[in-house]
Structure 1
Amino acid sequence: MFSKKGSTQVRPALPDDGHLTRASFAHLDEKAILRKMDLRLIPMLALLYLLSFLDRGNIGNARIEGLVDDLGMTGPEYNWTLTIFFFSYCFFEVPSNLVLKKLRPSVWLPCIMVAWGLVMTLMGIVKNYKGLLIARFFLGVAEAGLFPGVAYYITMWYCRHEAQWRQALFFSAASVAGAFSGLLAFGIAKMDGVGGLEGWRWIFILEGLLTVVVAFAAFYFLYDFPETASFLTEEERKFVVWRLRYQGSKVETAMVEDIRSNTKNAPAVAEVEEFEWKYVLDAFSDWQIWVNIFVYWGIVCPLYGISLFLPSIIKNLGYSSSKAQLLTVPIYITASILSVITAWVSDNRGIRSPFVFGGLCLTAIGFIIAISAPPSVPGLVYAGVFIATCGIYPAFPGNITWLSNNLSGSLKRSAGMAIQIAVGNLGGAMASNFYRSNDAPRYTLGHALELGFIGAGLIAVGILFFGYKRINAKRERIGDDHGLTVQEMARLGDKSPGFRYVL
């Protein structure tokens, strides 16, 4: 039996199981194994991301509790504290995912959690604008590895047609974090004056300490890869690895059974585990990643615009700070529920693009309502940002899963997802400056800029959809293997003639 904490830092090689077929595992209950994996993996991953999103976004809650005034900051200076986080966050994402391939997730992820928890705690004692700016920079450095690392980690456990629902469960923690942040800030702000510290300082200190505590627990509750999962039997481990390796294969049909009818033309590709720079360079030169980044910007600019400024937008509608904190809660709870439902339908249909496109359209409708609402009807602005948020959160995991489905080979997928998220999160740096204090309470410029990025995202979805459709049709015409061996097709990855892109 393998232990959870293997003695090596690389994934152990399994014996050659090429002779195995689905019939070899017919006596196993696949759904029961998936449930077992879900219960052991998803709750902890969701908790980690909840704390990550909570710690990067709580500055919006601290702002309306007096952060800017107490530190003597101007509106542009506050925006810079938001922006600088994304510069370091984006720069360190790709290196972090490459490190994750070398180190065990159960070591790397808790370590970076401890780091950002300490930074967050120390943010509660900053004395001026420069101190806050430095703290936000290092918060970005520490948090950089979590989201791309976990998004990639999920693909190492679940097949293509199962990934979005799990990504949504994990990402829904972001919307729960938004609701949780409002509730926590409402309660913690009552500590104003305790220990001689302002209420907004306690928001940073207590939420940072919570992250550190959870990080130490995560070391014992995170699992690395299926090959070393102690909660699975040896036979179950082999089955999980087998189904990942040959998911949807048409090649050597005596050896492999199609997992889903809509992926019957998908790749017959065994994951290539040996590190080669070739796969990283392939990711940097792949057209689909760079087009997908525009889709990502169309989602993430509104995402960060909402998460960083929603309390301020609501407060400027005429509500008190406390009521503004509480009014964010129903928005995020609804968005979380819609995210999970949408992902479940998308996984069952085996398609991604309609749900990403639909989410972007809903987001656009919300911002159009917010930008056109008359000042005399503040409730209409609230309805607009409510609708926009309900479009953003279902679209985000759909877009992440869509790209991961269409990158074959674990190293290329690891690098490609990190590039998507790293460059894509520059949208957060841009969105940090969309909502200027002198534009309150209507924030016309901010809403208009969000609509511009949503429009670019919708165009990019169309380019990807028709590009994938054209390539799939061409590969259908020319045939699947061209006499290539499974190993040769594995090295070609998603460039293999047997690979079919998910639409």
Structure 2
Amino acid sequence: MALEEKNSTMERSSIFEETGPEKVPWASSPEYLHVSMKAGLNQEDAQFLHEISKDEQNKIFHKVDWRLCPMLAVLYLISHLDRANIGNAKIEGLEKTLNMTGTDYNVALMVFFIPYVLCEIPSNMLLSRFSKPSVYMGVLILCWGIVMTCMGVVQSFGGLCVTRFLLGFFEAGFFPGAIYLVGQWYPPERTQFRMALFYCASAASGAFSGLLAAGIAKMNGVGNYEGWRWIFIIEGIATVFMGVAVFWLLPDSPEHAAGRWLTHDEARFLRLNHIVTRGMATKKKVNPDGKKERVKWSLFGQVAKDWQIYLQAMIFASNAVPNYGLKFTMPQILKNMGFTSTNAQLMTAPPYACGAISALLSALLADRYTWRMPFIAGAQALLIIAYAILFAKAEAIKDNVALCYFAVHVACVGIYPILPGCNAWTINNLAGPEKRAVGIATMICIGNLGGIVGSFIYQERESPRYPTGFGTSLSFAAAGMLCAFTLEYLFWKINSKNAEKTEDEWRAIYTEGQLEKMGDRSPLFKYHL
């Protein structure tokens, strides 16, 4: 039976080559054993994979789904809830209590992103060296939960900035780590939908944040604390409990799950399938003396010179700038429409719900057709339309409430499909777990600079029109669309050029060691479109 759906050609890593112009049920074909052995598997392991039916594979991956995806989704929800709830606290009196004026609020938003951007790459390097990612991730979440709770008792603007800085420091490792874990458990054609499942949590966090804040704010005066303080305290305590739970509930690897919630054969399938579809084993490499290899610092050079990282980072930023800007400011935008603080909190929920649905639907279609670009560029086009409406009509927002509220919905529908597609596209086109870990973290690091931009584009003095905010978001969406088209063209062109020679002809030019060292620059590597 097939390792992929019947009548589809397997998208393969650096060791793979199309078997011909016609599509074949790849894993059912005799060539599959040959290709599996080229991936480094012995004949016994290759035969084992060959005999796993499609239905059995689906059951195995569904087992992983139930263990990994809900946990990542909840954690992602909490991370976005904790970084964006400052927008809810703002309209409940945060600025007045802490005597904040001018751009103080924007500075508090920006401070989060300084450590968040700087620590993503080293954090993912550390994670890739951990045999149990649950321990590393659990410590991070526990620490940022404590910081979040402390944010509820700060007495000055300086104290708020310190806690926001520490929040960014500890949250930095979660997002790239979650993407890395998805790439370790799933083959390329199964990644985007799984990422979308926990990306939906980002949209859900926006909806849940407003609903939760509206309820918590009613605690105003309890314990002589204002309502905005209770927003931070209660959500921080919830994060602490989740951090403790991560130590036991977050899956580490197929090897650790074997004999527990996976059978030994199921764990073996996941490990071998990862080698075949990704071209590298999940086990840590060791020197001849049995010690783990040190970090290869040359990876930084490889990643720094990889042009696709920068194009993907711009696509990521086409989400980050509009997303963070809107997430931090949406309650205020809705309040500008004439709604009370409570109603503005509640009315943030429908747009985010639409964003969650759009992320899932686009991911299902992208995985179904194994094609990322149309669903990324389509989402960016919706962002352009939404911000064009807001840019033109927000000056008289109280006279255009229905149209502007509709545009906010369209913006959310456009925002949330971009990141699952961007990250799936990146992770599927980097060969080897170490480069994948550093590459995805670098892309996210550069892209998240958009968070700093998003922190400053909505100036209170420009309310309610916000020309800088809406105009900048529109520009980044357009630039991201151009990068998506460029990346698609370059991948297609390189694949076409490499296909001009057969695998045997390329192997006559390069040694096995040279091809292995090239990684995703190998002429035998097929870029995923």
Shift of 1:488: 4.9
- 1:368 aligns to 2:376 (yes or no): no
Equivalent runs, 1:137-286 vs 2, <5 Å: 137-229=165-257, 230-247=260-277, 273-274=284-285, 275-286=295-306
Deviation at 1:134, TM superposition (A): 0.8
Say if 1:479 and 1:497, in contact at 8 Å, map to a contact too: no
Question: Percent identity among equivalent residues?
Answer: 41
The yes-or-no answer on 1:67 pairing with 2:91 is no
1:26 Cα offset (Å): 4.2
Give, in whole Å, the separation in 2 of the partners of 1:414 and 1:456.
Answer: 26
Would the aligned equivalents of 2:280 and 2:433 in 1 still touch at CA under 8 Å? no
- The two structures have a TM-score, normalised by structure 2, of 0.86
Secondary structure at the counterpart of residue 71 of structure 2: helix
CA contact (8 A) 2:325 2:457 kept: yes
Equivalent AA in structure 1 for residue 90 of structure 2: R
Q: Distance in 2 between matches of 1:297 and 1:25?
A: 40
Cα distance in 1 for residues equivalent to 2:318 and 2:122:
25
Whether the 8 Å CA contact 2:255–2:267 is kept in 1: the answer is yes
| Aligned counterparts of 2:281 and 2:321: Cα–Cα separation in 1 | 36
The answer on whether the counterparts of 1:113 and 1:212 sit within 8 Å (CA) in structure 2 is: yes
Paired AA for residue 230 in structure 2: W
**Cα RMSD after superposing both structures:** 1.6
By how many angstroms is 1:378 displaced? 2.1
Please list every run of 5 or more consecutive structure 1 residues that lacks an aligned counterpart in the other structure: 1-15, 248-266
Spell out structure 1 runs of 4+ moving beyond 6 A.
Answer: none
2:468 pairs with one of 432, 445, 459: 445
Measure the CA separation in 1 of the matches of 2:481 and 2:368.
23
Q: Specify the alignment match of 2:42 in structure 1.
A: 18
User: 1:487: how far off?
Assistant: 5.9
Distance 2:240 2:230 in 1: 15
The answer for the alignment partner of 2:495 in structure 1 is 472
The CA deviation string for residues 192-241 of structure 1, in whole angstroms up to 9 with x for no partner, is 00000000000000000000011111111111112221311111111111
Q: For residue 463 of structure 1, what is the aligned residue in structure 2?
A: 486
* Paired residue total: 469
- 1:491 Cα shift? 3.0
Which ranges of structure 2 fall in alignment gaps of 5 or more residues?
1-39, 286-294
- 2:213, 2:231 within 8 Å by CA — same for their partners in 1? yes
Structure 1 residue 276: deviation in Å?
Answer: 2.2
Work out which of the residue numbers 114, 121, 125 in structure 2 matches 1:98. 125
1:346-386 CA distance string (max 9 Å, x none):
00100101111111001111111111126121222111121
Task: Tell me the amino acid that sits aligned with residue 44 of structure 1.
Answer: M
The equivalent residue for 1:83 is 110
Which residue of the other structure, out of 319, 333, 348, is the alignment partner of 1:299? Answer: 319
Going from structure 1 to structure 2, the CA distance change for 1:62 and 1:404 (only over 3 Å counts) comes to same
Letter in 1 for 2:266: E
Identify the residue that residue 496 of structure 1 maps to in structure 2.
522
Q: Could you state the TM-score of these two structures normalised by the residue count of structure 1?
A: 0.90
- 3-state SS of 2:457 partner: coil
Deviates most, 190-199 or 336-345: 336-345
CA 1:272–1:286 in 2, change beyond 3 Å: closer, same or farther? Answer: farther
CA distance in 2, matches of 1:276, 1:127: 45
Distance 1:152 1:284 in 2: 19
- Given residue 214 of structure 2, which amino acid in structure 1 is its aligned partner? F
Matched, 1:425 2:448: yes
Aligned to 1:406: 429
Alpha-carbon contact 1:280-1:411 (below 8 Å) kept: no
Is the contact between residue 269 and residue 493 of structure 1 (CA under 8 Å) also seen in structure 2?
no
Of stretches 267-276 and 322-331 in structure 1, the one that deviates more from structure 2 is 267-276
